[in-house]
Amino acid sequence: MNEKDIFNSTFFISFINDKLRPLINKTYRSNSTNTLIGQSLAGLPSSDILFNHSATFNYYVIIT
């Protein structure tokens, strides 16, 4: 983790892309639309992902 990645969002994005999305797509019917929802403390790394890696998700719901 570097100084600019204070919420460890790089690890979070890697986990979602490498582990979670393949598991969801294998287990459930899904489409190519992806939404990230971050509430309370999870809103901070979600905001970081929105501003620095916005192409990762189609939609963002951030509730702080």
Can you give the pLDDT at residue 32? 83
pTM of the model: 0.74
Can you give the pLDDT at residue 64? 77
Long-range contacts of 20-29 (CB under 8 A, 24+ apart): none
16 within 8 A of 25, measured Cβ to Cβ:
no
Per-10-residue mean pLDDT, the chain, length 64: 67 89 92 90 86 91 90
Can you give the pLDDT at residue 5? 66
Can you give the pLDDT at residue 58? 95
Rounded Cα distance between 26 and 41, Å, is 29
